[in-house]
Chain A
Amino acid sequence: MTEGTKAVIAIDQVSFRYPEQESYALQNISFQIYEGEWMAIVGHNGSGKSTLAKLLNGLQFPETGDITVDGMKLSEETVWEIRRKVGMVFQNPDNQFVGTTVQDDVAFGLENHGVPRDVMVRRVHEALEHVRMSAFLDQEPHHLSGGQKQRVAIAGIIALQPRVIILDEATSMLDPVGRREVLETIRKLKNEAGLTVISITHDLDEASQADRMVVMNQGKVYKEGLPRDIFQMDETLTKLGLDIPFPIKMAKALEAKGFHFPNIYLTDEELVDALWTLHLNK
């Protein structure tokens, strides 16, 4: 769906290493993220995916190569403008909650950008409405669950009306319910507002629902493509320290028992559909 549409973020031959470190955290990374797509970046721990996220937001600058966001090249001068376009949700829901109450936290980013108060009040309420947290306006963070805190963090980002949201393992500290809530919220927002989502994740079900995937390995892009194609190379993925989603594993196990499936199934529903039609065909 994405080829031919406009690239929101272009990463061109980017290399990066942390100060005082010999080896590169990222080496010759090049890919593009298109307008309105959901891009999943996967890879084992230390493969450089979080570093890449920090580069996209200007929290770190590349040693060589260029990053262009929405036509603007990332540099010291443009970094604040770029941060306005690229919102980021981090892993730990507690450590990114700046405000003393829910509404203060959502307003924090708006305050930083000097948004007038009347606009701010409206946007704070709208953003909280979107993530279904309006009932918690004056609630303090220690009274909220992890999933609720992450939803407030998302509200804080969408109040800034960014073009791109980066989820830096934003669901990794949540329980399955909280994770589903957060992902549903983001998906809804993406569809409504045409947001571009970059999700850095270990969660394969999350990755398999993406439009496109990038697999990182030791600071390099190992493969880029549709989730369907990427999850097909199962042994290679396991060697890279990754897993494959449950429906594919299940289909493989059934194939070993003599069943045959014409396609790759990424969701439980697809596999169930395939199974009951298979039964009919017999």
Chain B
Amino acid sequence: MMEKMIFGRYIPGDSIIHHMDPRSKLIFVFAYICIVFLANNLVTYGILTMFTVLIMLVSKVSIRFFLNGLKPILWLVVFTFFLQVFFNRQGDLLYHYAFIRIYSEGIRQGIFISLRFLLLIFLTSLLTLTTTPISLTDGIESLLNLLKKVKFPVHELALMMSISLRFIPTLMDETEKIMKAQMARGANFSSGSLKERMKAVIPLLIPLFVSSFKRAEELATAMEARGYQGGEGRTKYRLLIWKAADTLSLCLLALITILLAVFRT
């Protein structure tokens, strides 16, 4: 079941990007999402595309994984493209047939907006493809640390995230086991009307919930027995190290932002 999951999948590798600090990667992606919207002409989109392709190459991740990440969102990209093409009424009229009018500006905008989508998807997939979920959690925790001042439960959030991540495969296995056990007793998960199928899920969901509660209780006991008293007075085993590559990447980002600001119209 794990193989089908594309979202949040990590591909082990040995590139500079793999070894970067998750904090810099998170800041980078967040800022990048913002500056993508600065681009509004051929030059600025050109800069962004070149830059994105460049980091994709540096990451040494096979293009196949990026395309996989694109699949579920592809229809949205195509949809927005055609929306622009058919309904944008600016620029020169290129084609006219019955009620369909296609304008040059429509095609231009359509291409730009689809490109914007693609760039965003590629870069965010690059983040999850090159960063382990646990270091992402660490990065988020460390970046959210500022929020501690306003009583935001940063440690609790991070702990919940890491425990959830750790239990995903365990619960997947269990789901499969319960499913097979119910199938052995005559449950049918793969045919029938929508209503029948929804009903069939109940004998799967309820045992899964009950066992999750039991797991949670046992885990809490085990954690307490090992001295867990909350976030106060804890030290951390995993260490985030800010390296030269991280500073460099943020400098690069600043450079791109300036370029975009200069060349946009």
Contact = CB atoms under 8 A, between A and B. Distances in A.
Interface string A125-144: 00000000000000011100
Contacts of B214: 95
A95 B237 contact: no
B238 interface: yes
B145 interface: no
Contacts of A103: 237
A117 B239 CA distance: 9
B236 A141 contact: no
Interface stretch (A30-38, A63-71, A106-114): A106-114
Given A83-B227, A95-B215, A160-B227, A120 B235 contact: yes
B134 A116 contact: no
B176 to A, nearest CB: 12
Nearest to B219: A95
15 contacts: A80-B229, A83-B226, A83-B227, A88-B222, A90-B218, A100-B133, A100-B165, A103-B237, A104-B237, A111-B237, A117-B239, A142-B169, A142-B170, A157-B226, A160-B226
A112 B238 contact: no
Interface string A79-116: 01001100110101011111111011001111111111
A57 B227 contact: no
Interface of B: 133-134, 162-163, 165-166, 169-170, 173, 214-215, 218-219, 221-229, 233-239
A59 interface: yes
A103 B237 CA distance: 9
Contact of A59 (B133, B162, B221, B238): B221
Nearest to B211: A95
A75 B243 CA distance: 47
Nearest to B137: A100
B133 to A, nearest CB: 8
A245 interface: no
Contacts of B227: 80, 83-84, 109, 112-113, 160
A282 to B, nearest CB: 55
Query: Range of interface residues on chain A?
Result: 35 or more
Contacts of A147: none
B228 to A, nearest CB: 5
A124 interface: yes
B165 A156 contact: no
Nearest to B225: A88
A115 B237 CA distance: 9
Contact of B234 (A87, A111, A124): A111
Contact of A111 (B169, B170, B236): B236
A124 B234 CA distance: 16
A114 B173 CA distance: 34
B127 to A, nearest CB: 18
Contacts of B162: 99-100
A98 B219 contact: yes
Contact of B218 (A95, A99, A110, A111): A95
Given A57-B225, A80-B229, A160-B226, A96 B218 contact: yes
A92 B167 CA distance: 14
A57 B228 CA distance: 13
Given A98-B222, A112-B234, A117-B236, 6 more contacts: A57-B225, A83-B225, A115-B235, A117-B237, A124-B237, A142-B173
Nearest to B214: A95
Nearest to B216: A95
A90 B170 contact: no
A82 B214 CA distance: 26
A90 B165 CA distance: 22
Nearest to A83: B227
Contacts of A114: 233-235
A141 B239 CA distance: 21
Nearest to A153: B222
